[in-house]
Structure 1
């Protein structure tokens, strides 16, 4: 079967392409630029690569159709208009499965936990989440009414070596990592009990792959793609002090005071959107229907990312 992966060299595709190639799928990796994946693998030296620009190529859908895919994995679709183009463009073709990458940001603030992946009353907080949720609803409608063969997968905070992970402040500033590595005191917002959802890119890729291999169970469904457990801001910071061999020195500040302490309005805003939707995601549905079993815990994923920071000189250690 032919599988097209759109956005193939990113956080998820880095690991999904080798899974597909090694399983014998006729795989096409589509990217805007011929950038290398985050981690190399033999499959990346044999997979067919196509350079295509969804935003600027008016013939993008027609070019996809000419490849006659059986399966499309859409990892970089951020606009409901693009989702509609896919559905309209692939009516009456041999496409048997369209896998859409949504996001945990499609959820709003937690009311009860864990979040329900099938919730039809989500209240996203920003335009990104609203667009993702609009695509989710549209795909579910098209599956029910017209049988369009879609599956929705919602990753948590994709993490791992080679890119910036969300830190114990809920943003991507390197300062808190360095302060902890130096054994300095840090401050967390509120009581540090908001929850982050680090999941390794490999495990997110695994959910996509399992949805392909368990197609009948996946059609028309939504799945969270996360680690088995999550971590609080406090737990994250405390773990990092232990990682660097220091006693934890953590204080807590009310939100407005903490934003002044953090010092960057942009990073403070980044923190807000990560922690205001604090909640828990369950992987039980993915385990039950797709036989998903995470390879990495959230702590293992964090440690791999921090080691990568150190190896790249982004965190200085004595």
Structure 2
């Protein structure tokens, strides 16, 4: 069976995605930093490739022999240095794309974010054709990485797919949606979303 490389395997999405894929018979390799919380991957039988997404050589080594890449590694914060967002989210994606091209992978899946749409008007339905309007360096870096991914498809013939998920929530999550919809109600606190207005994601 061919191997699938997962970047960002130790993140919130990776904690759910890796067991899901293993249960369905996929053989996984994960690019992980020694300092990350990778221990849960061992019992799943995931092969560990040590390295950082910013290290092009480490990414190339991890990608060799893989049939597909799911690139979920990224820096997500509401604040931070511009250079950090772009070094990880854009240049890290460049490393992953180039490694995938060299390895001849059959599919490259990039996990972007619905946030590249910016702050649309209340009641606006956002689809694939909705104009992007990033508001901060996180969103800008993710949009630039999207564009780079699609350029590799057009110019290099790499089979790519860009996904723009909404907010993640669920077991093990430490983000605001978990607090708003699970932790606070369990404490008897009222649910307040965006000044009392509704926010919906597909």
TM-score, structure 1 normalization = 0.50
Rg larger for = 1
Question: Shift of the alpha carbon at 1:64?
Answer: 2.0
Show the counterpart of 1:97: 107
Show the counterpart of 1:113: 124
Question: Shift of the alpha carbon at 1:28?
Answer: 1.3
Distance (Å, rounded) in 2 between the aligned partners of 1:100 and 1:81: 13
Alignment of 1:225-304 (within 5 A): 230=200, 281-282=201-202
Contact 1:4 / 1:30 at 8 angstroms: preserved in 2? yes
Distance (Å, rounded) in 1 between the aligned partners of 2:165 and 2:174: 16
Which structure 1 residue ranges, 4+ long, deviate > 6 Å from structure 2? Answer: 185-189
Show the counterpart of 1:163: 173
Show the counterpart of 1:210: none
Distance (Å, rounded) in 2 between the aligned partners of 1:69 and 1:179: 43
Q: 1:188 to 1:102 in 2, by over 3 A?
A: closer
Distance (Å, rounded) in 1 between the aligned partners of 2:146 and 2:69: 16
Contact 1:34 / 1:51 at 8 angstroms: preserved in 2? no
Length, aligned pairs only: 184
Q: 1:89 to 1:114 in 2, by over 3 A?
A: same
Give the secondary-structure state (helix, strand or coil) at the position aligned to 1:12. helix
Q: 1:95 to 1:164 in 2, by over 3 A?
A: same
Distance (Å, rounded) in 2 between the aligned partners of 1:108 and 1:72: 27
Show the counterpart of 1:54: 52
Gap runs ≥5 in structure 1: 38-42, 196-229, 231-280, 283-318
Q: 1:95 to 1:179 in 2, by over 3 A?
A: closer
Gap runs ≥5 in structure 2: 75-87
Any idea what the Cα deviations from partners look like across 1:225-280, whole Å, max 9, x if unmatched?
Answer: xxxxx3xxxxxxxxxxxxxxxxxxxxxxxxxxxxxxxxxxxxxxxxxxxxxxxxxx
Any idea what the Cα deviations from partners look like across 1:114-142, whole Å, max 9, x if unmatched?
Answer: 212244x3011110011111111222222
Pick one of 83, 87, 90 that aligns with 2:97: 87
Matched, 1:4 2:8: no
TM-score, structure 2 normalization = 0.74
Pick one of 123, 129, 135 that aligns with 2:133: 123
Distance (Å, rounded) in 2 between the aligned partners of 1:101 and 1:189: 25
Give the secondary-structure state (helix, strand or coil) at the position aligned to 1:28. strand
Distance (Å, rounded) in 1 between the aligned partners of 2:192 and 2:155: 51
Question: Shift of the alpha carbon at 1:144?
Answer: 2.5
